[in-house]
Amino acid sequence: MALGFLDRSRIVAPAGWSRWLIPPAALSVHLAIGQAYAWSVFKPPLEKYLSLSGAQSALPFQLGIVMLGLSAALFGTRVERNGPRWAMFVSLCCFCGGFLVAALGVLTKQYWLVVLGYGGLGGIGLGIGYISPVSTLIKWFPDRPGMATGIAIMGFGGGALIASPWSTEMLQAFGVAYDNVGRVVSVADSAIATTFLVHGLAYAVFMSVGVLLVRVPADDWKPAGWNPANDKAHALITTANVSARNAIRTPQFWCLWVVLCFNVTAGIGILEKASPMITDFFRETPVPVSASAAAGFVALLSLANMLGRIVWSSTSDLVGRKNMYRGYLGVGAVLYLAIALFTNESKVLFIVCAMLILSFYGAGFATVPAYLKDLFGTYQVGAIHGRLLTAWSVAGVLGPLIINAIADSQKAAGKSGPALYTTSIYIMIGLLVVGFVANEFVRPVNAKFHEPTGEKVTQ
Amino acid sequence: MSRPDQKVNRTPLIVFAWLWVGIPLLYGLYQLISKVTQLFTG
């Protein structure tokens, strides 16, 4: 199918094109779609204006995350075939179109349109946008794939940092009034719809720079002074290519699926309950934590999550992907154990452990594309990554389910303080140990899965 | 249009591209860090 200006063949970089233009192109998409994690800002005004319950107002976000996993898995191969400009453009249309449909839904008081618009259509934009720059970055930075994908995936974490204060200010400007503890007092008629409309248009402009900037390297391009033979010194790094279809038939793919799923589950365990957790832990101590200090703790964890994506993922280029995951999972388990054993003896120890766990959570997302590239080559790494993201969807359900269910049952049993979370923490340690063992099983992919080398591998 | 053998200066484009994404990210980080301070003052 002719894609014209969006086609991969139209974006082959001319000689002298700088590869340092590709990370900002990727960031313009990831910083935009990362807005999804700031959905909670819209919940109270929507609940007030449309008389919704908390569960109902969470539906657009939940559907969005499910659609992210599904669309990344289903459209990954097409993203590889059509190229990053096509993928970024489709992501822009779906993500920003989702906001416009949601605006119409609020304006007409048809909440199902908000769910389908933001969650359904917007969620497809999330999935395609998330994987759109991955293989392109890896091809431009074969010498530093961890750093390159770390920058982009850090952007997904950073998107919520931007959207959360920005969206709140816009809601206020268009007529949502809050009291001094942040509760919604009143919502003007067109406030939420106008906010959604402006979000859709602003993100479209912001993402379009990425669509215009992105280029793929010429087939014979490689960074100056880089010799692929040096990388072969790491036993796991292949120069062969494995298709997405074959990759899911290898044990390596499923070992990494378990690694990602359990690493994310363990991180969500803290992320989901960060605020009540630190309050409960130190409630009966001489140094209790106030509500505003707990909000500061949540912000600190977001910072650790974002920094972990770029710092640890870049480090993986030096020490190897398998060693990094040994750290994320092994050290992560030890840190959880320290929290379980020392409970509320030291606030500093608790905060440092939680920050490191969250940095490993973010790093798990950011390092995995480079791990896939090491094992399966660059041929369809974006599509393979898309299929692996189903692990995220599962973890997104599993993590909160475990920690919420156990905290509720412990509370019902009359427990309080750190005891509310001890069982969950030991379950997280167990999951991290299983992930650690799965990582140990990762070996180079059997040559029978490789694409034939005699003919040129085409996109 | 530039000839293939002509050296094009991409520095202004690189600066623009990084500012385009860097400024919003710095705004987000500033907001975040002002919230983090609540942990020590709140």
Which residues are within 8 A (CB) of B22 and not within 5 positions of it... i.e. 6 or more apart?
none
CA angle A324, A328, A329 (to 5 degrees): 115
Is A459 part of any domain? no
pLDDT-based confidence at B42, cuts 50/70/90?
A: low
The answer on A200 and A77 residing in a single domain is yes
To which residue do tokens 């416009």 refer? A100
SS3 (DSSP) at A96: helix
Mean pLDDT of the region A40-54: 90
Hey, are the CB atoms on A165 and B33 less than 8 Å from each other? no
pLDDT-based confidence at A455, cuts 50/70/90?
A: very low
The tokens of A423 are what? 């069982």
The answer to whether A307 and A150 are in contact (CB under 8 A) is no
Min Cα–Cα distance to chain A from B3, Å: 10
Min Cα–Cα distance to chain A from B29, Å: 7
Mean pLDDT of the region A26-39: 93
Query: What is the distance between the alpha carbons of residues A67 and A271, in angstroms, rounded to a whole number?
Result: 21
**What is the per-residue pLDDT across A49-74, written as a single tens digit (0 to 9) for each?**
999 987 788 889 888 988 998 999 99
Hey, are the CB atoms on A291 and B39 less than 8 Å from each other? no
Instruction: Residue A299: list chain B partners with CB under 8 A.
Output: 32-33, 35-36, 38-39
The tokens of A110 are what? 């048809």
Is A354 part of any domain? yes
Asked whether residue B5 carries a pLDDT value surpassing 60, the answer given is no
Which residue among B4, B13, B21 sits closest to A31, beta carbon to beta carbon?
A: B21
Which residue among A18, A24, A296 sits closest to B35, beta carbon to beta carbon?
A: A296
**What is the per-residue pLDDT across B17-38, written as a single tens digit (0 to 9) for each?**
999 999 999 999 998 888 887 7
**What is the per-residue pLDDT across A351-378, written as a single tens digit (0 to 9) for each?**
999 999 999 999 999 999 999 999 999 8
Which residues are within 8 A (CB) of A197 and not within 5 positions of it... i.e. 6 or more apart?
A99, A100, A103
Is A218 part of any domain? no
Residue closest to A211 by CA, chosen among A14, A27, A76, A17? A27
Mean pLDDT of the region A99-122: 97
pLDDT-based confidence at A397, cuts 50/70/90?
A: confident
Asked whether residue A403 carries a pLDDT value surpassing 90, the answer given is no
Is A223 part of any domain? no
The answer on A419 and A343 residing in a single domain is yes
The answer to whether A46 and A193 are in contact (CB under 8 A) is no
Q: What is the DSSP letter of A219?
A: T
pLDDT-based confidence at A415, cuts 50/70/90?
A: confident
Is A455 part of any domain? no
The answer on A253 and A169 residing in a single domain is no
Asked whether residue A459 carries a pLDDT value surpassing 50, the answer given is no
Is A302 part of any domain? yes
Q: Residue A224's pLDDT is what?
A: 85
Question: What ipTM was predicted for this assembly?
Answer: 0.88
The answer on A261 and A196 residing in a single domain is no
pLDDT-based confidence at A458, cuts 50/70/90?
A: very low
Kindly report the CATH number assigned to the domain that includes residue A391. 1.20.1250.20
Q: Residue A457's pLDDT is what?
A: 45
Count of CB atoms within 10 A of residue A66's CB?
17
The answer on A335 and A376 residing in a single domain is yes
Q: Which residue has the higher pLDDT, A236 or A205?
A: A205
Q: Residue B2's pLDDT is what?
A: 46
The answer on A203 and A290 residing in a single domain is no
The answer on A254 and A207 residing in a single domain is no
Of A178, A213, A248, which residue is a domain's last?
A213
Mean pLDDT of the region A280-296: 82
To which residue do tokens 């919520």 refer? A160
pLDDT-based confidence at A426, cuts 50/70/90?
A: very high
Asked whether residue A291 carries a pLDDT value surpassing 80, the answer given is no
Q: Residue A53's pLDDT is what?
A: 86
Total number of domains constituting chain A = 2
The answer on A364 and A413 residing in a single domain is yes
Min Cα–Cα distance to chain A from B5, Å: 8
The answer on A317 and A181 residing in a single domain is no
Of A164, A188, A213, which residue is a domain's last?
A213
Mean pLDDT of the region A37-42: 88
Of A213, A246, A279, which residue is a domain's last?
A213
- Name the region of A225 (left: φ>0; alpha: ψ -120 to 50; beta: rest): left
Min Cα–Cα distance to chain A from B10, Å: 7
Is A203 part of any domain? yes
Residue closest to A372 by CA, chosen among A458, A247, A233, A457? A247
- Domain range enclosing A102: 4-213
Q: Residue B6's pLDDT is what?
A: 60
pLDDT-based confidence at A2, cuts 50/70/90?
A: low
Which residues are within 8 A (CB) of A217 and not within 5 positions of it... i.e. 6 or more apart?
A12, A13, A19, A139, A140
The answer on A265 and A167 residing in a single domain is no
The answer on A184 and A266 residing in a single domain is no
The tokens of A385 are what? 């990554």
Mean pLDDT of the region A165-184: 88
pLDDT-based confidence at A307, cuts 50/70/90?
A: very high
Is A288 part of any domain? yes
- Which site among A17, A22, A31 would you substitute to test the B interface, given the most B Cβ atoms closer than 10 Å to its Cβ? A31
The answer on A292 and A198 residing in a single domain is no
